A and B are shown apart, each in its own frame.
Chain A
Amino acid sequence: MLTGIYAILFYVATILLVVGLAYRIRLYWNTPAPLKIPTTPAPITEAGVAFRLAREVVLFESLFKANKWIWVFGWLFHFGLLVVLIRHLRYFINPVPDLLAMMQPYGVYAAFAMVAGLIGLWARRFLVPRVRYISSPSDHLMLALLVGIGLSGLAMKFIAHTDIVAVKAFFIGLMTFNWQPLPADPVLLIHLTLVAVLMMIFPYSKLLHGVGLFFSPTRNQADNPRERRHLAPWAAKLETGGRSK
C-alpha cells in the first residue's frame, strides 16, 4: 500500500517535472526576442556570451555585484544542493562508481552548507524591511519546503537512520518497473514527500529561474547589432506591409 502510493507519487512527480519543463523550454525557445537588448557592456561574440552565462551560473556574477549577503547565502545553498544531489546518485546507480563513493562525506558537509544558506535567505525575508515587503506567502513556503528537505535528510543521517539499502532497492525498482517495498520510517516518508512536491511545483513556480537565466535576452545575446541584422519573424511581416498580429 505505502510502496504503491509512493511509487505512483514519484511517477507523477517525474512526469510533471519533465513535461512541465519541456513545455516551458519549448515556449521560451519559440518566443522571439525581437530586439537586441543585452545589458552592456556585453560580449561581442557567441563564445563570449557562453562565458558570460557560465560566470552567471557558476559564480552568480551579477548577484555578487548586487549584494554580498544574498550572494553568500544563495551560493552556499545552490552549491550545497548540487553536491547533495550528486551524492544522492548512489541511490540510483548500481554499482556505485569509486568517485561517487569517495565524495560521500563531502555531501554531508554540503547538506549543512545548503541548510545554512537557506536559513540565511529566510532570515533576510524577516529582517530586511525591503525584502520583507516583497515576500509573499509562497516565497516563505518555498523556503520551508527546501529547509524541510534538508533537515529531514540530515535527520536520517544523524538521528533516525533508515534502511538505506531498502530505499535504494525501492528507487531502482521504480526505474526498472520492478517495485520493491519502501521502509515505513516517518522521517524518510516526510523527506520523500517534500522532494516529490518540489519536483511537481518546479516547472510551475519561480523555481523556473534555473531555466529562465539561459533564455534571458539581457544575458544571452551578443552585442553585435550593427554588424548583424536581427529580425523576429513577426517583425519581418511588418516589412511586407502585413500586420504584426
Chain B
Amino acid sequence: MAEVSDYIMEEGEYPDPLERPELTPGAMEGLKSLRAKPEHQKALGFPGELVDNWEEVAVNKMGELLGKYRSLQVYLDSCVKCGACTDKCHYYLGTGDPKNMPVARQDLLRSVYRRYFTFSGKYFPKLVGARDMNKEVLDEWYSYFHQCSQCRRCSVFCPYGIDTAEVSMAAREIMDSVGVGQKYCNEIIGKVYKLGNNLGLPKKAIESTLEGLEEELEEETGLKIRMPVDEPGAEILLITPSADLFAEPHIQGLMGYAKVFHEAGVSWTLSSYASEAANFGMFIGSYENMREVSLRIRKAAEDLGVKRIVFGECGHAWRVGYSFLNTLAGPFDFLDPRYPVPQHICEFTYAMMQEGRLRFDKSKNDEYRLTYHDSCNVARGARMGDIPGGQFEIPRAILRASCNHFFDMAEDTIKESTFCCGGGGGILTDDLMDIRVKGASPRMKALQQVHEEHGVTHMAAICAICKAQFAKVMPKFGFDMEAILSVHQMVANAIVMTGSIQEKELEEKAKGAVAEESAAEGQAA
C-alpha cells in the first residue's frame, strides 16, 4: 500500500483529480477479496465451492445471461476500443493498472464471450483477442471484477453508453454460479435473509438504539420526537441503511430524518423485518437475490399498513429503490397514489421546504465550510423530483438552506461526472483497503482543491457506503475522519423546530437584537 504521506498535499499545492497515471500493468493483479465460504454461497442459492465442470457451467451461464439481458449482449458486441473510457475510472486513475480501464475490464469477459459466442472468436481467436475460459481467466475476473464499484462513470462517456457495471454484475453472477463468490457481499445478503439487515442487528438492538436516540433528541430540543419501529398504522415506512442505526456520521442523519418527520407532523416507523435499504443483490448482479431483498420492503409495507415508503440516505439503495423497486416488488397500488413510490428523504425534506414549513438557523452550521459529494448511484442511476438532474439540485438546495458556506468541487468531478468514493459496489471491505484508498484519490484531490481555494473543511454525502468509506480513508489524505457528514445531519443542526429549545433561544436572540437596536437608536437620537 502507498505510504500515507503520498496522498497528503503540501500547502498551496493544487492536485489535479483527472491526472492520468503511467500505465503499470499488473499493479493490482494480486489484490483479491476474501472468498465466500460454502455456507454464505448456499444461503443465496449458489454452489458452495468451485463445481467440477465449472468451465462449461460458466460458459452456459454466460449464454443464459446473454439471453436475459439486452445490455450485456449489446455491450459485448458494440465496443470499438475507441479509448473514450480509458481515463474515466477512479480505480484506473488511482492505480495506473490498465486492467482497471473500463474497456480493459470489460474485455476480461468480452474475450471469453468472443471465444464461445462469435464467429470470429471461434475461428480466429488471436486476431480478435478471444480466450478460453480457464483458471487463469477466472482468477483475473475475481481480482478485477471486484475492483469495479459499478459507479457508471464510464457509461456517461461511452459513445454507445456501454456500462461496465452491467458487465461486472454479469461476471460476478457467473462466478457465483460456479461457486466462486465474494465473502463481503454474499455474507451480508445472508444476514438480510436471516435478520433483516446487513449488520445482523436483531429487533431488540434496534429498539434500544432508537430509545437512546429519542432521549438524546429530547434533551437537545425539549420535544418528544419519536423514533418507532414496527408500529402498525404509521403513515410512512422509512427504509434506511442499517448503518444509520449505529455508524458515524450516519446516525446524525437518522436523527435529522426524525426531526423533519416530527416537524411535518407525519407518523412514521422503521420495520425490523425490512430494516435495511441497502440491496447487495445488485452488486452481485443477481436479479433473484435483489428481488428477494426488495420483496421484504413490500411485505413490511403491507404488514404495517403504511401509506408511503421513504428511503433514507443510501446511494445504491436509492438506485434499486427508485429505478428497480417498482419492477422487482411492485405494483404498489395499495399505497397513497399522491406520492411517488418510493420517495427519497431529500425529496420529502425539499417538499417541506418548498411549502415553507421548515425553519433553519444557518448560523448553527457556521463551523462548517461545506462541499457536497454526489454519490454515484444517485447521480447516474436514479433521480429525485420531477425533472432530470433533480438528484443534483435537491440535496444542494437542502444544504444551502441549512448552512452559510457551501462550495462545489470542480465541475468535471461532480454531478454526472462525479467520482465514486472508492468503496461502492461491494468493495467496502477491509481486505480491499488498498484499492479503496487508491480509488478514493480522485475525489480526495478534488476536495483538496476546494480546501485550497475556499477553505472547505467538510463534505456532506447521502450514501451510507460513501460515509463509511470516507470516514476510513480521509485521514490518509490529511482530513479528519469527521470531515464527512450526512446531509440530514446539517438539517438536524440547523432546523428550528416548533416549540423547541432552539426556537425559544432564537426568539430571545431576536428580542435582544431588537432591544439593542432600539437602545442604539435612542443613543443616536
Contact = CB atoms under 8 A, between A and B. Distances in A.
Interface of A: 24, 27-28, 31-37, 39-44, 56, 60, 62-63, 65-67, 70, 74, 121, 124, 128-131, 133-139, 141, 204-206, 208-209, 212-213, 215-219, 223, 225-232, 234-235, 238, 244-245
A213 B127 contact: no
Interface in B116-164: 118-120, 124, 126-129, 152, 155-163
Given A65-B157, A218-B163, A244-B287, A229 B83 contact: no
Contact of B79 (A28, A62, A63, A209): A209
B287 A34 contact: yes
B80 interface: yes
Contact of B288 (A27, A141, A244): A244
B129 A138 contact: yes
Contacts, number: 213
Contacts of B66: 31
Interface stretch (B352-360, B380-388, B402-410): B380-388
28 contacts: A28-B73, A31-B67, A34-B68, A35-B323, A35-B324, A41-B388, A60-B159, A63-B82, A63-B157, A67-B157, A70-B82, A70-B83, A121-B82, A129-B23, A130-B20, A130-B86, A131-B81, A131-B83, A133-B104, A137-B129, A138-B120, A209-B79, A213-B78, A213-B159, A226-B340, A227-B340, A235-B291, A238-B291
Range of interface residues on B (Cβ < 8 Å): 35 or more
A219 B159 CA distance: 10
B80 A209 contact: yes
B161 A209 contact: no
A215 B74 contact: yes
B79 A217 contact: no
A184 B39 CA distance: 72
Which of A128, A133, A215, A218 has most B Cβ within 10 Å? A218
A209 B82 CA distance: 11
B445 to A, nearest CB: 19
Given A33-B70, A130-B98, 4 more contacts: A131-B81, A212-B77, A230-B327, A235-B287
B71 interface: yes
Contacts of B128: 136-138
B108 to A, nearest CB: 12
B245 interface: no
Contact of A35 (B78, B327, B383, B416): B327
A216 B157 contact: no
A169 B300 CA distance: 74
B410 to A, nearest CB: 15
B361 to A, nearest CB: 33
Interface in B419-462: none
A39 B124 CA distance: 34
A34 to B, nearest CB: 6
Interface string B205-236: 00000000000000000000000000000000
B171 interface: no
Contacts of B499: none
B202 interface: no
Given A41-B383, A66-B85, A216-B78, A134 B107 contact: yes
B88 interface: yes
Contacts of A124: 83
Contacts of A39: 152, 155-156, 161, 163, 380-381, 416
A42 B291 CA distance: 24
B326 A226 contact: yes
B127 A137 contact: yes
A41 B384 CA distance: 10
Nearest to A56: B159
A107 to B, nearest CB: 25
Contacts of A218: 71, 152, 155, 161-163
Interface in B252-285: none
A112 B98 CA distance: 34
Which of A33, A134, A215 has most B Cβ within 10 Å? A134
Contacts of A231: 327
Contact of A223 (B71, B327, B383): B383
Contacts of B152: 39, 218
B87 interface: yes
Contacts of A227: 340
Contacts of B342: 226
Contacts of B107: 134
B55 interface: no
A28 B383 contact: no
Interface string B160-174: 111100100000000
B38 interface: no
A225 B79 contact: no
A73 B80 CA distance: 14
Nearest to A39: B155
B507 interface: no
A235 B287 CA distance: 9
B237 to A, nearest CB: 16
Contacts of A235: 287, 291, 327
Given A219-B160, A219-B161, A229-B330, A134 B104 contact: yes
B120 A204 contact: yes
B288 A238 contact: yes
A157 B74 CA distance: 38
B104 A66 contact: no
B71 A37 contact: yes
Given A42-B388, A229-B331, A244-B288, A36 B323 contact: yes
B120 A205 contact: yes
B327 A66 contact: no
B388 A40 contact: yes
B322 interface: yes
A44 B288 contact: no
A34 B159 CA distance: 22
Nearest to A129: B23
Given A31-B70, A34-B287, A209 B326 contact: no
A42 B127 CA distance: 37
Q: Rank and list the top 6 A-B pairs by shortest CB-CB distance, nearest first.
A: A212-B78, A66-B157, A41-B388, A218-B161, A66-B84, A136-B129
B345 interface: no
A231 B287 CA distance: 12
Contacts of A121: 82
Contacts of A226: 322, 326, 340-342
A194 to B, nearest CB: 17
A32 B67 CA distance: 8
B23 A225 contact: no
B401 interface: no
